[in-house]
Structure 1
Amino acid sequence: MSSGQNSGGLMSSAGLVRYFDEESRNAPTMDPRTVVAFGVLLGVFVLMLNALA
């Protein structure tokens, strides 16, 4: 690496870091426990459907 380059991180991730640093005030939010509970219920539902088929 030459001495004139900035070693502040990966160039490919620079745009993503800026994108995810900003939070929209009107964005919908969900409790993480709700997401996990929904995933568990969906998994149980799929297992029940497989057992019946």
Structure 2
Amino acid sequence: MTKRSEAKYKIDRRLGQNIWGRPKSPVNRREYGPGQHGQRRKGKLSDFGVQL
């Protein structure tokens, strides 16, 4: 198994779900994505994006 080189809670917040199952995960406390521009709303997916 490979070692994660990226912060695992960043992945949680990017996807908007608690993947790792920890109750102290930041995704439970913050409704927005990670990073400098994380508080901006995500745009609506197109029909093609939904199909993917």
Q: TM-score band, normalised by the shorter chain?
A: under 0.3
| Structure (1 or 2) with the larger CA radius of gyration | 1
Q: Which protein has greater RCO, CA pairs closer than 8 Å, 6+ apart? A: 2
TM-score by length of 1: 0.24
Higher helix share: 1
TM-score by length of 2: 0.24
